[in-house]
Amino acid sequence: MKALILVGGFGTQLRPLTISMPKPLVDFANKPMILHQIEALKATGVTEVILAINYQPQVMLSFLEEFESRLGIEITCSQENEPMGTAGPLALAKEKLLQEADKPFFVLNSDITCEYPLKEMLEFHNAHGGEASIMVTKVAEPSKYGVVVLDENSGRVKKFVEKPAVFVGNKINAGIYLLNTSVLNRIPLGPSSLEQQVFPSIAKEGCLYAMVYDGFWMDVGQPKDYLTGLGFYLDYLRRKSALELAVGRNIIGNVLIDESAKIGEGCLIGPDVVIGPNCVIEPGVRLSSCTLMKGVQVKRSAHVSGSIIGWYSTVGESAQVSSMAVLGEDVHVGETVFLNGAVVLPHKEIKSHFVKPEIVM
């Protein structure tokens, strides 16, 4: 089987992290976002993953080379010279996808984190006999999304309603699809949309089905949702693979610490914290609802909460970083500095307080 991951463009909503690295390679729970998806696809029997990308393809491919050999899966790029939407990339990669013409292929949005129930989706697709399957998830406020209206017994999709003013259902598109190769004949070569053009036409013919997924789900393409999704993922690890999480007197709730990180005495860490490789956490530090990427140093008695600290950055002694602050790569926050919701571009030194959210150029 094959799969195509919709990588897309510049990842502007996750800046300043994506200034240093393409969005799918940004760490999520101590591994690149896209690697979570590739591992799930490999476990389902996928042998080739095609990355549909229009930004830094060589950076992506060179980075993923080691995972290609380690996982025993082929990873290739299909490069867009212009933004192609969510359907256009399939037409662009048509020749590759048709190499297994008798088998369906997966399509994933690269921003999605969940439990990836791909084996269940494959069984669902084979059972209903339609042309395409989409995964849907339930949300509390469906008016913010495009709602999928379906037959609750068969799963057949009736229609799509974009941001409904009145309640028509609470199931939304979860960004994971399983399609027969015949779907490729419906897509012209050029920019187009699966959600707005291709899927509605398949639904009208009664050939589109939706699998309802009840596990955790989050689009992690911007900082607030990234941290929310991280909390969901850590809770999932607690249930499925608790030995991966840290334990100890100084740990509260779900905490993931790379084995190479060094933690000082008297720290209080958690809940919902990820500490990356080669991080150094000095004594008396308080960490909660945050992620520290590779090589971060947090000096004595500093406090980081509700924030993302980029690679090789430093939080100074007794400094406080909070309220959805995002530090890019190699940012150095001075002693006792207070950063409240500031977004700091890479390679900056911060010596003064920022008491309200702003972008530090």
For the chain, 361 residues long, the average pLDDT of each consecutive 10-residue run is 83 78 87 91 92 75 78 84 84 84 88 92 92 90 80 87 78 91 88 86 91 90 90 94 92 96 95 97 96 97 96 96 93 94 93 87 78
Looking at residue 102, its pLDDT comes to 81
179: enclosing H helix or E strand: strand 171-179
Looking at residue 11, its pLDDT comes to 59
The C-alpha atoms of residue 348 and residue 39 are separated, in whole angstroms, by 35
Looking at residue 232, its pLDDT comes to 95
- CA–chain centroid gap for 359, Å, is 23
By three-state DSSP, how is residue 22 classified? coil
Looking at residue 145, its pLDDT comes to 76
Q: What contacts 127, CB < 8 A, 6 or more positions away?
A: none
Looking at residue 56, its pLDDT comes to 65
SS3 content of the chain, % helix, strand, coil (to 5): 30, 30, 40
42: enclosing H helix or E strand: helix 33-43
For the whole prediction, is pTM greater than 0.85?
Answer: yes
The C-alpha atoms of residue 273 and residue 288 are separated, in whole angstroms, by 6
Instruction: Answer yes or no: are the C-beta atoms of 200 and 149 closer than 8 Å.
Output: no
Looking at residue 98, its pLDDT comes to 86
Looking at residue 10, its pLDDT comes to 60
Instruction: Answer yes or no: are the C-beta atoms of 269 and 289 closer than 8 Å.
Output: no
